[in-house]
Amino acid sequence: MTPMAEPHDEAAPNPDGEELPRFSEYALPEPLMRAINDLGYEHCTPIQSQALPLSLADYDITGQAQTGTGKTAAFLITILTHLWEQPRKHAPSGRLPAPRSLVLAPTRELAMQIEADGEELARHMDQDALCVVGGMDIQKQVNRLNAERPNILIATPGRLIDLLQRGWVDIGSVEILVIDEADRMLDMGFIPDVRRIVYRTPRKHRRQTLFFSATFNDDVMRLAQSWTLEPEHIAIAPEQVAVDTVEQLFWLTSREGKRALLRDFLKIEQPDRALIFTNRRDQTHRLNQWLNSKGIDSEALAGDVPQNKRTRTLSRFKEGKIRYVVATDVAGRGIHVDGISHVINYDLPEDAEDYVHRIGRTGRAGASGVSISFVSEDDAFNLPAIEEFLGAPVKCAQPSLESQGQP
């Protein structure tokens, strides 16, 4: 469980050097504070310290922050506080489940993680967080919806559209709408579905909208302006993400020598738990199969892997039953696992911001981590954009292994 994403048991500083506020300073509901204390968190992260005073006062927010900054906890705490302080006076008159809050997420893994975080934070409250996603039995989800009638619904756009078209859920009384990772929704082509969903909720002057994105280009800004009402904008710069706790290495290799270099590193160094990123799904499967053929126990996470298998892989990874996972960026967005010691960029990402997302999977919760990026003749084209994004040059070096790149 990592809803806060950063350590709060120490007095973490703001970028200006001041101590970040404690959750106890916000007069949160007692059962919610009890859950936060149970989880061992005391201080806010930067985005929480900026967002909570505004979101708890019912302001719309546009927030710029990467995965791993604690934004999930910020909007869940806002939702749970609202539900506690403003209980529904009467049960909805319609026969359909009618959630009071709706969280839209681009991937199944992220939606399921938000559900898990919501359950942890609501453990002492009479509130249910329920997730509906594609790739899973829709009838089972409908049965849960009807049985639990949750006040907090977390959904991927495609599955929610299915439910709305079949008349199985009513979002016409949503009081808080959260749109998470809007830039990723845009990249994945979900915006037409998201737009249809937003239009089924109350108009923006009758709901609170919390809009989060890792980037705010012109397209994302237009979406934010369409769906929020006079929002307060919060920006957490990428350098404030916990990359300071990650040792970043760039290893020179040939295109042909990548696989052997990865094999040698895993066999010689034997990292505790490593997440290995590739740029394409087919590459993910081929690399995973090759590692297995070399006696290395790994599993693959990609968008075309059946949901039940992806869930099992994530659970096994979290429990330490498998040490190595090969993943694409889309699948990696949903991986919130403490104790990932290494992130390996088998391919350098084509989008420089994905580099920060990737290495943010390690060095979490106060632990140190290592990212290793393989730089071949193909990857070198992506280095300048990463250097510009990081605001500093990167130093490429030869790998420090005894056996390097031998087939």
Q: How does DSSP assign 291-344, residue by residue?
A: HHHTT--EEEE-TTS-HHHHHHHHHHHHTTS--EEEE-HHHHTT---TT--EEE
Residue 293: Cβ-neighbour burial (10 angstroms; 0-12, 13-18, 19+): exposed
Angle in degrees, CA 45, 48, 51, rounded to 5: 150
pLDDT in tens, 195-250: 999 999 999 999 999 999 988 889 999 999 999 999 999 988 654 444 667 889 99
Q: Which residue has the higher pLDDT, 157 or 281?
A: 157
CA 282 from chain center: how many Å?
23
How far apart, in Å, are the Cα atoms of 61 and each of 47, 178, 345? 11, 10, 33
Residue 92 has pLDDT above 90, yes or no: no
Look at residue 142 in the predicted model and tell me its pLDDT: 94
Residue 3 predicted with pLDDT over 50: no
Question: Does 241-397 match 23-236 at the fold level?
Answer: yes
CB 92 within 8 A of CB 145: no
The pLDDT assigned to 361 comes to 81
What whole-number distance in Å separates Cα of residue 286 and Cα of residue 72? 33
- Phi first, then psi: what are they for 175, rounded to 5°? -100, -30
Cα→Cα distances 46→50, 64, 79, 231, Å: 6, 12, 19, 18
For the packed helices 30-38 and 108-121, what is the interaxial angle rounded to 10 degrees? 110
Task: Supply the mean pLDDT for the chain.
Answer: 86
Question: Are the beta carbons of 346 and 277 closer than 8 angstroms?
Answer: yes
Residue 385 to residues 133, 238, 314, 340, Cα–Cα distance (Å): 34, 14, 31, 26
Mean predicted confidence (pLDDT) in 273-302 = 93
In percent, the amount of the chain with pLDDT more than 70 equals: 87
Contact (Cβ atoms closer than 8 angstroms) between residue 131 and residue 115: yes
Q: Report pLDDT for 251.
A: 95
Give the architecture (CATH level 2) of 241-397.
3-Layer(aba) Sandwich (3.40)
Report domain extents, the chain.
23-236, 241-397
Give me the DSSP letters along 77-141.
Answer: HHHHHHHHHS--SS--SSSS---SEEEE-SSHHHHHHHHHHHHHHTTTTT--EEEE-TTS-HHHH
Q: Could you tell me the two tokens for 400?
A: 């420090």
Identify the pLDDT of residue 241: 46
User: Residue 109's beta-bridge partner residues?
Assistant: none
- Which of 299, 303, 294 has the alpha carbon at shortest distance from 318? 299
76 has a pLDDT exceeding 80: yes
Share of the chain above pLDDT 90, in %: 59
For the stretch 317-326, pLDDT in tens is 888 899 999 9
Query: Quick check: 250 and 375 in contact, CB under 8 A?
Result: yes
- Is a pLDDT exceeding 90 seen at residue 15? no
* Sign of the alpha-carbon dihedral angle for 28, 34, 38, 42: positive
pLDDT at 362: 82
Of 286, 287, 268, 267, the residue nearest 276 (C-alpha): 287
- The Cα 371–Cα 42 span in angstroms is 28
- Measured CA to CA, the distance from residue 360 to residue 349 in angstroms comes to 14
Cβ-Cβ contacts under 8 Å for 381 (sequence gap 6 or more): none
Q: Looking at per-residue confidence, does 331 or 350 come out higher? A: 350
- Residue labelled with tokens 């806060």: 4
The dihedrals phi and psi of 174, each to the nearest 5 degrees, come to -65, 130
pTM for the whole structure: 0.69
- The predicted model gives 15-37 an average pLDDT of 85
Are 344 and 372 in contact by the 8 Å Cβ rule? The answer is yes
Specify which residues 325 forms β-bridges with. 275, 299
Is the pLDDT confidence value at 376 over 90?
A: yes
In this structure, the number of other CB atoms found within 10 A of the CB of residue 389 comes to 16
Residues listed for the chain: 407
Please name the fold of domain 23-236: Rossmann fold (3.40.50)
Check residue 11 and give its pLDDT: 38
pLDDT for res 6: 40
97-117 pLDDT per residue, tens: 999 999 999 988 889 989 999
Are 275 and 344 in contact, with CB atoms under 8 Å apart?
yes
Task: Assess contact for 115 and 79: CB atoms under 8 A.
Answer: no
